[in-house]
A and B are shown apart, each in its own frame.
Chain A
Amino acid sequence: MSVGRFLVRRLLLVLPLLLGVLFFTFMLVRLSGQDPTAKIAGPTATAAEIELVRAQLGLDQPLFTQFLIYLGRVVQADLGRSWVSQQPVLQDVLERVPVTLELLLWGVGIGALVGIPVGLRAAFRPDGAFDQISRFVSLLGFSTPTYWLGLVMLLVFFYLLDLAPPGMGRLSLMLSPPPRITGSYLIDGVIAGDLEAAHSAFAQLVLPVLCIAIISAAPIIKQTRAITLEVLASDYIRYARAQGLEPAMIRRMALRNAATPVVTFLGTELTGLVGTTALIEYVFAWGGLGQWGLNAIITGDFAAVQGYVLALALFSVIVFLLVDLAVLLLEPRAGTRA
């Protein structure tokens, strides 16, 4: 099957999913039972003004009509306005996406770079000393609260050792950001030749990225180990042994066969780690989508919460699509199976 047709089919499958997601975000606000009109109209609004806002928002309509109105807005890329920032939600979201992605991708990238080899090594000698230690470390990672780890990192590397800058954003307060190209201060700084800014951006990145890498490595170790063990127990590996192939060759065969499930897992993991990243952003005052979304949830900024949840769902859908594409390239079977 061609990649084009595959994509079209996948996108068609995504549509009902997105509709469900929109219904969920819509209901999320209804669930609260709170009336956003008062907040939007402001504290000095009269009853008549509140009624007017209600009518503007369509809140006097039946539920289903309200959902259709909401759908119509979303389709026109109107996600409403945040009553905290008074800006369109879409604009708030788009501004912050690269800020969060920078953190997330570095973190998960390093987590995978460490976690995958560790998981593989553990699986090749199950119950050996390395396996036991890595399993314990992985369980410890599962059990460590993200935000607490961030705080301890600041305590150790900023307060005690003075190796890291304070956890206050993406750039030293003394510097002005480089001209925006990618949205990543580090990369933009390098492109603009502003090495001071790039260096500061890098220094700010180290601790939060380290936290995400540690937290993300735990499930990556565990799953890589489990996947590899399953591959090693498969009929074809057993038959490879019966063929007298050398252990190194069998190992290579196992690695190749573990690649697809590991990539698939990394995709699901990436979408889950958006939550971890949000908490890290919150602790390090990162100012990305995650911190913005958490603040929206905490303050009850409903339009922003809807926009945030929707953005996360879209991100997941895109990641799953990319994973499917990667699998299509990795696996001779995928074309017939899809």
Chain B
Amino acid sequence: MSTQAGTGAITATAPLRGTPGLGARILRRIRGIARRSPTLAVGAAILLAFAAMALFHPWLMPRDPIAANPTLTLQPPSVEFWFGTDQNGMDVFSRVIYGAIYGFGIAIPAVMVGLSVGVPVGLYTGYRGGMIDEVVMRVFDSFRVFPSIILALAVVSAAGPSLLNVVMVIGLLDSPIFARVVRAEVLALRNGTYVEAAVAAGNPTRRILFVHLLPNAIQGAMAQTAVRAAWAVRISATLAFLGIGIQPPTPEWGAMIRQGAEFMVSGEWWVAVFPGIALILMTLGLNMLGDGLQDLLDPRRKAATR
């Protein structure tokens, strides 16, 4: 990378002109971000919709998502059952709405597990370097020989397919990704004068890591969270589809697709298609958010105008 000597001072930020109201400023910032990265804006909008579904599900669901009705099984979509009913006579629309809870309920804690394991490891190995760093990175590397989906499946099924295990395994499999990002930033930061000053001032290692390095090194990891959450949603649904972990008739999207799989070739497509679309939209929202975030944080694109 070469620095253009002539552009060094351009990135300096100037104070805002004028002082419009806070609401107007927030609105303006949102419009600015949406213009810079429409991807991010659309992703955020999709996610907000799903968050609303999860939060307000009691009012949004027309029926109990697990109330079976043997007289109304496999009803096609209609005014009464917007997304039809499944083989138990349960309302697919209500079940799709309820499924958002599982999406967030797995993705958020899984990413937290990944962060809380990966970030300290990345901080420590990046700061310490040497043997520990070498060994940890080699171990991380070696996990690349397994396809991540298979790895997650095998470990979850071995550890016992409880919801907690699903969350833990997804989080742990994510942690090397967070660790790598943080480590790379720490490597770039650790020889900075302010770290040297902190060491010279006699700060303990733990304090240097978490007070001095963490705030500067965490940005890259945060930019990854949305994409990792998308992965968590995807993997947990895959597990449920294969019948590992969450079982039908739990209103989880992967489990619902499993229920509807056999009807795809006999014409009752709505049982599996609607939860699949919900799953796609939620992962798409997270992926778009993540993509947009990385775009926004990429210094090469920072100044681009359109």
Contact = CB atoms under 8 A, between A and B. Distances in A.
Whether chain A touches chain B in the assembled complex (some CB pair under 8 Å): yes
A74 interface: no
A316 B146 contact: yes
Interface stretch (B94-102, B104-112, B260-268): B260-268
A20 interface: yes
A148 B148 CA distance: 18
Contacts of B142: 17, 20-21
A127 B306 contact: yes
Contact of A305 (B149, B154, B261, B306): B154
Contacts of A142: 230, 283-284, 287
A17 B145 contact: yes
Given A148-B272, A151-B264, A155-B265, A31 B280 contact: no
Contacts of B158: 28-29, 31-32, 305
A286 B149 CA distance: 18
B155 interface: yes
A309 interface: yes
A246 interface: no
A143 B257 contact: no
Contacts of B287: 139, 142-143
Contacts of B154: 28, 297, 305, 308-309
Interface stretch (A90-98, A257-265, A269-277): A269-277
A274 B149 CA distance: 9
B144 A271 contact: yes
Interface residues of B, number: 50
Contacts, number: 143
Contacts of B306: 127
A273 B261 CA distance: 22
Contact of B149 (A31, A278, A309): A278
Contacts of B153: 294, 297
B145 A152 contact: no
Contacts of A159: 264-267, 269
A195 interface: no
A88 interface: no
Question: Which of the listed residues B149, B264, B266, B276 has the most CB atoms from chain A within 10 Å of its own CB?
Answer: B264
B238 A279 contact: yes
Nearest to B288: A139
B62 interface: no
A200 B283 CA distance: 36
Q: Chain A, interface size: which category?
A: 35 or more
Nearest to A273: B147
A71 interface: no
A309 B146 CA distance: 7
A31 B155 contact: yes
Contact of B146 (A31, A235, A313): A313
Contact of B144 (A32, A152, A268, A298): A268
A300 B157 contact: yes
B10 interface: no
Contacts of B242: 282, 294, 297-298
Given A140-B280, A154-B264, A159-B267, A278 B150 contact: yes
Nearest to B159: A31
A288 interface: no
Contacts of B266: 159
Interface string A306-327: 0011001100110010000000
A158 interface: yes
B303 interface: no
Nearest to A309: B154
B77 interface: no
Given A139-B291, A142-B284, A276-B147, 4 more contacts: A29-B158, A143-B234, A145-B238, A316-B144
7 residue pairs, one from A and one from B, having the closest CB atoms: A275-B147, A275-B149, A143-B283, A316-B145, A148-B276, A143-B284, A32-B158
